[in-house]
A = this chain, B = another copy of it.
Amino acid sequence: MGLTKSEIFTEEQNQIASIAKAFAHPARVAILQHIFNSSTCICGDLVDEIGLAQATISQHLRELKNIGLIKGNIEPTSVCYCIDEDNWANAKDLISQFLDYESKKTNCC
């Protein structure tokens, strides 16, 4: 086993889980925060900033890119990453709405 049964869940549930998974590693959180704080973000910066190997950073960047949260512009010997604004806004809405389900609660304990 070990294979998530995506097919038994709703599209929304899978999307929320998928976005959350992108945030589910501190390195990716750190990468995103670093992108937010930089006017431009080059992968090499991150290797210095975060204490992980270049290959590992690159792998995390690819995950963020695959899920659509960031996009990269290929420059001469470096790559400039930044947030994909549209996709980020969608992700934010989806997660925010999920977190706001709280208002509909009717707790018993």
Contacts and interface: CB of A to CB of B under 8 A. Distances in A.
A80 B109 contact: yes
Interface string A1-36: 000111011100110110011111111111011011
Contacts of A61: none
B50 A30 contact: no
A23 B24 CA distance: 9
A77 interface: no
Count of identical protomers in the assembly: 2
A16 B8 contact: no
Contact of A51 (B8, B25, B29, B100): B8
Contacts of A40: 108
Contacts of A43: none
A4 B25 contact: yes
